[in-house]
């Protein structure tokens, strides 16, 4: 059994990762500042983990916490805490992205330099690539289209720097559009499902032809756990092997809910790329990762969770893999 620190533990992906690590026998220290969206929703994300004997939650901001104390006795770190969202990263809000994505990561890396951790896994984003015409390989040119993407790229460079100069045993994972139960409320699929459940028109940025590589949350957790077990080093794409247009995502929601959906198209959002596409050869070879949950099954699982969450806000979702299989 290892003691693993998970930053962003109360978030969408972080809470699922915490549960998986506890299931396989690790001790988990979770840290979260409870920012980004409602505290109540994040507390529900963690409700299942909170009852576990081997879980401890530290509430606080990585910019303020005593990181040496936080890291004491920790064997590995999964750094998922971040300020997310492409559209909000422009203008006056960018300093928040700079602080939480770049400065907080640098502060954590500096603290890790004096520790003997076995692995540091950094959760990056497909946003570092910008728009692509074919499967993005990890060696491709990186041309982010938003300040958010730029902040994740800057954090990646810091991780690589501390790996080279300070020996931090780091691995970088670039997640591609993650979806499933507990998805952030500002993300497209979550907004589509929520609007459809309320009988409201779906607001779609652009003409709906934009392509996205969609990755179910349990697959992202699989890849992250694999990186926490494998020899450190490397940069890997984590995609779901399924691509769909925004219009096709709406169709999946329509079929899953069996409702009529009205779509209200608007202008393209600044910073939203036209196409994302993950090349998975490297992650398959080095981490043995292969996505397991297809798009239809995954969206049905998210719809089921959202429907029950809407009916009973106190309801706690179960394992994403079990829900998808069901």
Q: Looking at residues 16-29, what average pLDDT do you find?
A: 98
Q: In the chain, where are the structural domains located? A: 3-325
Radius of gyration in angstroms for the set of CA atoms belonging to the chain, rounded to a whole number: 19
Q: Cα(318)–Cα(295) distance, rounded to whole angstroms?
A: 19
Question: DSSP of 31-42, one letter per residue?
Answer: EE---SS-HHHH
In the DSSP assignment, the letter for residue 134 is S
**Taking CA 286 as the corner, what is the angle to CA 211 and CA 168, rounded to the nearest 5 degrees?**
100
**Taking CA 136 as the corner, what is the angle to CA 220 and CA 245, rounded to the nearest 5 degrees?**
75
What percent of the chain is predicted at pLDDT more than 90?
Answer: 89
Q: Residue 104: CA atoms inside 13 Å, Cβ hemisphere, count?
A: 26
Residue 311 is predicted with a pLDDT of: 55
Q: Cα(246)–Cα(189) distance, rounded to whole angstroms?
A: 9
Domain 3-325 - what CATH class?
A: alpha beta
Cβ contact 209:243 at 8 Å: no
Q: In the block, which residue shows the tokens 């994972």? A: 173
The average confidence (pLDDT) of the chain is: 93
Kindly tell me if the per-residue pLDDT of 226 is higher than 90.
yes
Kindly tell me if the per-residue pLDDT of 312 is higher than 50.
no
Active site residues: 148
Residue 271 is predicted with a pLDDT of: 87
- pTM: predicted TM-score of the whole model, two decimal places: 0.94
pLDDT tens-digit readout, 269-298: 888 999 999 999 999 999 999 999 999 999
Q: Looking at residues 32-42, what average pLDDT do you find?
A: 94
């Amino acid at each position: 059994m290892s003691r693993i620190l998970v930053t962003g533990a109360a978030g969408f992906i972080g809470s699922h990762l915490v549960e998986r690590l506890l299931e396989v026998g690790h001790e988990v220290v979770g840290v979260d500042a409870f920012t980004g969206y409602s505290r109540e929703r994040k507390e529900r994300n963690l409700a299942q983990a909170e009852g576990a004997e081997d879980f401890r939650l530290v509430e606080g901001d990585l910019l303020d916490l005593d990181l040496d104390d936080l890291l004491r006795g920790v064997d590995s770190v999964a750094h998922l805490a971040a300020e997310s969202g492409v559209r909000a990263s422009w203008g006056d809000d960018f300093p928040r992205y700079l602080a939480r994505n770049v400065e907080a990561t640098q502060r954590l890396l500096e603290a890790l330099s004096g520790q003997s951790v076995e692995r540091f896994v950094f959760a990056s984003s497909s946003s570092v690539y910008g728009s692509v015409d074919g499967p993005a390989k990890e060696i491709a040119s990186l041309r982010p289209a938003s300040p958010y993407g730029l902040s994740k790229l800057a954090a990646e460079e810091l991780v690589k720097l501390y790996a080279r100069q300070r020996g931090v045993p780091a691995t970088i994972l670039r997640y591609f559009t993650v979806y499933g139960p507990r998805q952030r409320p500002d993300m497209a699929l979550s907004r589509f499902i929520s609007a459809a459940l309320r009988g409201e028109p779906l607001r779609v940025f652009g003409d709906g032809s934009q392509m996205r590589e969609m990755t179910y949350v349990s697959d992202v957790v699989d890849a992250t756990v694999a990186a926490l077990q494998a020899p450190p080093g490397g940069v890997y794409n984590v995609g779901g092997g399924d691509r769909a247009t925004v219009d096709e995502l709406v169709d999946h929601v329509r079929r899953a809910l069996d409702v009529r959906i009205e779509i209200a198209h608007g202008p393209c959002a600044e910073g939203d790329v036209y196409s994302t596409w993950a090349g998975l050869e490297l992650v398959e070879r080095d981490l043995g990762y292969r996505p397991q949950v297809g798009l239809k099954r995954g969206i049905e699982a998210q719809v089921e969770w959202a429907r029950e969450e809407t009916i009973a806000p106190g309801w706690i979702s179960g394992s994403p893999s079990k829900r998808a299989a069901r």
